[in-house]
């Protein structure tokens, strides 16, 4: 499938296209994947482009900010250390946020953003919703690989792993969702997209 409004750096374009392939609803939505060293607390962050918030929901544009280098306590972690399937899962999780945002009015998005800044229970709900969208769209195995990479990567600190356990679905919960939703069809492999 062609994504005429997809913008991504060359070194992750295939992974971005692969993640997008699970979300046919986004085929004509502008989604930009962009490196930005200002992402706080997380490796990636999806949000609407502020200029598009005044447009109708169907015309909104989104941006997924990605840190090339991510600091967890005193250790650095780079995008080059992320395996392809894990990166696809991570991008797929962010696209789950985009799906969630698409259903919200401008006022709802502003309230949503404020709650995300100040409410841990809201953060948990939002992150789990993004995982749920990804699994519903057939990305369960990619999400599992991403969880495994995060939780079992020795270069990531225990406090970061604890943060992930607290706010995101566990591998067991992802597996339950896969069993509940099944898959939405076979998607092309990276090799087939080459």
Query: Crossing angle of helices 106-118/120-136, nearest 10°?
Result: 120
Q: Residue 176 CB: number of other CB atoms within 10 A? A: 13
Q: Specify whether the CB–CB gap between 72 and 153 falls below 8 A.
A: no
Per-residue pLDDT at 154? 64
3-state secondary structure of 102: helix
List residues bridging with 44 in a β-sheet.
66
3-state secondary structure of 27: coil
Q: List, as one string, the DSSP characters of 56-91.
A: -GGG--EEEEE-SEEEETTEEEEGGGS-HHHHHHHH
Q: Specify whether the CB–CB gap between 165 and 151 falls below 8 A.
A: yes
Q: List, as one string, the DSSP characters of 126-154.
A: HHHHHHHHHHHTT-HHHHHHHHHHHHH-T
Per-residue pLDDT at 71? 63
Per-residue pLDDT at 10? 92
The count of C-alpha atoms lying within 13 angstroms of the C-alpha of 158, restricted to the half-sphere facing its C-beta, is 0
Per-10-residue mean pLDDT for the chain, 194 residues long? 84 95 93 82 85 88 88 69 92 96 89 85 92 95 92 77 90 93 56 42
Per-residue pLDDT at 21? 95
Q: Specify whether the CB–CB gap between 72 and 31 falls below 8 A.
A: no
């Amino acid at each position: 499938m062609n994504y005429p409004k997809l913008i991504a750096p060359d070194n992750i374009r295939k992974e971005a296209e692969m993640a997008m392939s699970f979300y046919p609803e986004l085929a004509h939505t502008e989604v930009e994947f962009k490196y930005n060293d200002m992402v706080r607390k997380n490796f990636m962050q999806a949000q609407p482009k502020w200029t598009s918030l005044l447009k109708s929901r169907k015309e909104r544009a989104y941006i997924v900010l990605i840190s090339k280098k991510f600091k967890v306590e005193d250790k650095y972690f780079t995008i080059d250390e992320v395996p392809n399937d894990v990166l696809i899962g991570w991008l797929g999780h962010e696209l789950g946020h985009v799906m969630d945002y698409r259903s919200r009015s401008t006022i709802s998005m502003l309230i949503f953003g404020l709650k995300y800044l100040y409410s841990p229970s809201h953060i948990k709900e939002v992150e789990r919703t993004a995982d749920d969208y990804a699994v519903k769209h057939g990305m369960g195995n990619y999400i599992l690989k991403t969880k495994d990479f995060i939780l079992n990567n020795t270069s990531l600190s225990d406090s970061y792993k604890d943060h992930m356990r607290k706010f995101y679905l566990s591998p067991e919960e992802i597996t339950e969702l896969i069993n509940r939703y099944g898959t939405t069809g076979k998607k092309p492999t990276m090799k087939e997209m080459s």
